[in-house]
Chain A
Amino acid sequence: MKGKTQINIFFENSTRTQASFELAGKRLGADVMNLGVDKSSVGKGETLIDTALTLNAMQPDILIIRHPSSGAANLLSDKVHCSVINAGDGTHEHPTQALLDALTIQRTKKTLSGLKVAICGDIKHSRVARSNIQLLGKKGNLIRLVGPRTLMPSEIEELGVEIYHDLEQGLKGVDIVMMLRLQKERMAGALIPSVREYYKTYGLTYEKLQHARKDAIVMHPGPMNRGIEIDGNLADDINHSVIQNQVEFGVATRMAVMCYLCQND
């Protein structure tokens, strides 16, 4: 991607995704620019569309956007001529996360179909869950969603997934345990009683993991709340956890996605 221009616009805080995209671009030789929202004109009241038109006039080759509103990436892509990669929009989608999760599964399980996958925790606010349901569903895996009724979006069973409200039941015989971050910043309206009750009922511990298959792997898109959705020791245990692999494969996945888009220009 030498000579190509990549602009990262992150309207939400992010460590791993932003760094991952930046590094991916740099490793491919692109000119990478990070647009900090707090320092940009967005802070002065510019609308998303105006920002898009301004950036478009600068002729970038690829735009990476993260935004707290669902559908923001779609809106942006309508207004610019270059490729747009959605790095997470609201509670809608996070496609590169699903791709890197797929790569991680493929590498550890040597297959990407016929697996039993439990996606656990705060499904309601999770764009990672929605993207993974699509990708892993398309590849013919059995998907279970595990979480309290208050964190389960309505009619999600229409997507062909099984719903569980009991973590131990939901983990029975699964190959993949995908934990999600409890999005404490979105908990208005009494969605869960307390962090300690959440840990007791939905926190992944060694005991609860016993219900999964012996060779089950534990994934987490990060950032983790240790002691809330996952036992800190379990998260670090390389016999089960592939969380660090996910981060590593994240860079590779994003390099591949950007390469693909630029080649097709």
Chain B
Amino acid sequence: MDIYRNAKIIDPEEDRVYNGEVAVSDGQVVEVSERRIDTPESRLVIDCKGKYLAPGIVDFGVKIGEPGERHKESFGTAGLAAARGGVTAMISRPDTSPPIDNPETLEFFTRRAKSATEIPIHPLATLTKQRLGEQMTEVSLLLDAGAVGFTDCDSFISNSKVMANCLSYCSQNNSLVIGHPQDPWLSGGTSATSGKFATLRGLAGVSPMAERIGLERDLALVEMTRSNYHADQITTREGLMAMEQSLDKGLNVSAGISIHHLTLNDLDVGDYRTFFKVKPPLRAEDDRQTAIDGLKRGVITIVCSMHTPQDEESKRIPFDKASSGAVGLETLLPALLRLYHSEDLDLPLIFKVLSFNPSKRFGLNSGRIAKGYQADFVLFDPDYPYILDRTTLASKSKNTPFDGQSLQGKVLKTVVAGRIVYSREENV
């Protein structure tokens, strides 16, 4: 039995932070106490030195370069980045090459993942073959092979009948469908959010309304088919209002947002900085504020990194031609702590949206430090200041928008099922 002593434990479900100790055995939490846990059989005592011990981060929507783009990221480097970022479970995206749209590819994927990293990967599979929005994938066989949900990622299924049938079929299998709600016609060919900035820079802009149109279509189909649905990123006031209406109706829907949309806005793109090109594009400051408010009110319940590794070649080209996406596994926690330091969010809420909610939504036995839960922890110091140097990132791709920026908060230890998978050197 291992004991974590002298920790400030964050409990997102009971919404509190308290001084306590945690006992772990066989990968599970066996006791949590505000008093000293004394047991003769303790094998290892970890002194947390008064730092914060939180449930490990469950990062939704991680793109791993395998198969197909191993030069951008591999299971090994993604796992390393996750460990250094306090991420104890990755929910991976299927928009690989080839896409994960059949049980054989998925089995290959999970086998590779298991042999290459200690961080558990819970794979999503595509909703339609080749992400073309035409033919449904083998949902039931993919579930047997370990899929935890279905999504065509940024490829919007424009055929409403296909989408309705997919929703219906997945809900029959008690499975979650994840949408990327963007009207494909409005958003096609754009690289920024429409507005003054896009106009001045001469970038083709997409109206925030594209998100609402896509989302309202999906939500209407969810209501029609009585199915389960998660919108990967809701980033606009318009989208948030649509989501709130559906929640009021009692539909089984939820919404997430990426760390980049919570902490950056369209002006950050500046002089066509392609590391700030993400999907959907960064929004106006008003929308960012609305999103933070949506997080506080529980309309948005999951914050993720939308980790998307891109090599230099796909970013060192004109803005409109550059690939979208940013890496985020390692910077997710320190970036979100910006909203803690600005007193927008408290620590229990931060771990509610990083750990507790995504665990619950994807049916994992983690997300809380309490008896019976898997021992997935992150030990961190929220105040540790540093300037991020992107070359120090563990990811194979270094496309982070936080390069050269001040961040505050450092992961000290990451624990997966009771095993310490990352420990920061004391004197670095």
Footprint of B on A, CB under 8 Å? 148-150, 165, 189-194, 196-197, 200-201
A165 surroundings in chain B (CB, below 8 A): 172
Indicate if the CB atoms of B138 and A149 lie closer than 8 Å. Answer: no
Indicate if the CB atoms of B135 and A197 lie closer than 8 Å. Answer: no
Footprint of A on B, CB under 8 Å? 128, 134-141, 159, 161-162, 165-166, 168-169, 171-172, 225
How far is B128's CA from A165's CA once the two chains are assembled, in angstroms?
21
Indicate if the CB atoms of A148 and B136 lie closer than 8 Å. Answer: no
Contact of B141 among A150, A191, A196 (CB under 8 A): A196
Indicate if the CB atoms of B140 and A190 lie closer than 8 Å. Answer: no
Indicate if the CB atoms of A190 and B172 lie closer than 8 Å. Answer: no
A189-B165, A191-B136 known; 14 new pairs, CB 8 Å cut-off, are A149-B171, A150-B165, A189-B159, A189-B161, A190-B128, A190-B136, A190-B162, A190-B166, A191-B165, A193-B136, A193-B138, A193-B141, A197-B138, A201-B140
Known contacts A149-B171, A190-B128, A190-B166; is-contact A200 B136 (Cβ 8 Å): no
A189 surroundings in chain B (CB, below 8 A): 159, 161-162, 165
Indicate if the CB atoms of A196 and B138 lie closer than 8 Å. Answer: yes
How far is B128's CA from A215's CA once the two chains are assembled, in angstroms?
41
Interface of B is mostly: helix
B139 surroundings in chain A (CB, below 8 A): 193, 197
A148 surroundings in chain B (CB, below 8 A): 169, 172
CB distance from B176 to the nearest CB of A (A): 15
How far is B139's CA from A194's CA once the two chains are assembled, in angstroms?
9
CB distance from A153 to the nearest CB of B (A): 12
Query: 20 A-B residue contacts at CB 8 Å?
Result: A149-B171, A149-B172, A150-B169, A165-B172, A189-B161, A189-B162, A190-B136, A190-B161, A191-B165, A192-B136, A192-B169, A193-B135, A193-B136, A193-B137, A193-B169, A194-B138, A196-B141, A197-B140, A197-B141, A200-B140
* 8 closest residue pairs by CB, A with B: A189-B161, A190-B136, A197-B138, A193-B138, A149-B168, A190-B162, A149-B172, A193-B136
With most chain B CB atoms within 10 A of its CB, the pick from A165, A197, A200 is: A197
How far is B200's CA from A186's CA once the two chains are assembled, in angstroms?
51
Nearest residue (CB) in B for A195 is: B138
How far is B225's CA from A148's CA once the two chains are assembled, in angstroms?
13
CB distance from B107 to the nearest CB of A (A): 15
B225 surroundings in chain A (CB, below 8 A): 149
Contact of A149 among B134, B136, B169 (CB under 8 A): B169
CB distance from B404 to the nearest CB of A (A): 47
Number of A-B contacts (CB under 8 A): 45
How far is B166's CA from A57's CA once the two chains are assembled, in angstroms?
51
Interface of A is mostly: loop
Known contacts A148-B172, A149-B171; is-contact A190 B165 (Cβ 8 Å): yes
How far is B139's CA from A201's CA once the two chains are assembled, in angstroms?
11
B169 surroundings in chain A (CB, below 8 A): 148-150, 192-193
CB distance from B190 to the nearest CB of A (A): 28
How far is B135's CA from A165's CA once the two chains are assembled, in angstroms?
21
CB distance from B225 to the nearest CB of A (A): 8
Indicate if the CB atoms of B134 and A190 lie closer than 8 Å. Answer: yes
A150 surroundings in chain B (CB, below 8 A): 165, 168-169
How far is B172's CA from A194's CA once the two chains are assembled, in angstroms?
16
How far is B141's CA from A201's CA once the two chains are assembled, in angstroms?
9
CB distance from B152 to the nearest CB of A (A): 12
CB distance from A113 to the nearest CB of B (A): 32
Contact of B135 among A190, A196, A201 (CB under 8 A): A190
Nearest residue (CB) in B for A201 is: B140
A201 surroundings in chain B (CB, below 8 A): 140
CB distance from B221 to the nearest CB of A (A): 13
How far is B166's CA from A150's CA once the two chains are assembled, in angstroms?
8
A194 surroundings in chain B (CB, below 8 A): 138
Contact of A200 among B141, B161, B168 (CB under 8 A): B141
Nearest residue (CB) in B for A187 is: B135
How far is B171's CA from A194's CA once the two chains are assembled, in angstroms?
17
B162 surroundings in chain A (CB, below 8 A): 189-190
CB distance from A184 to the nearest CB of B (A): 13
How far is B166's CA from A165's CA once the two chains are assembled, in angstroms?
15
With most chain B CB atoms within 10 A of its CB, the pick from A149, A189, A191, A193 is: A193
Nearest residue (CB) in B for A165 is: B172
With most chain B CB atoms within 10 A of its CB, the pick from A148, A165, A189, A191 is: A189
A192 surroundings in chain B (CB, below 8 A): 136, 169
Nearest residue (CB) in B for A194 is: B138
With most chain B CB atoms within 10 A of its CB, the pick from A148, A190, A191, A201 is: A190
CB distance from A127 to the nearest CB of B (A): 21
B165 surroundings in chain A (CB, below 8 A): 150, 189-191
B134 surroundings in chain A (CB, below 8 A): 190
How far is B103's CA from A200's CA once the two chains are assembled, in angstroms?
14
How far is B134's CA from A148's CA once the two chains are assembled, in angstroms?
18
Nearest residue (CB) in A for B169 is: A150
A196 surroundings in chain B (CB, below 8 A): 138, 141
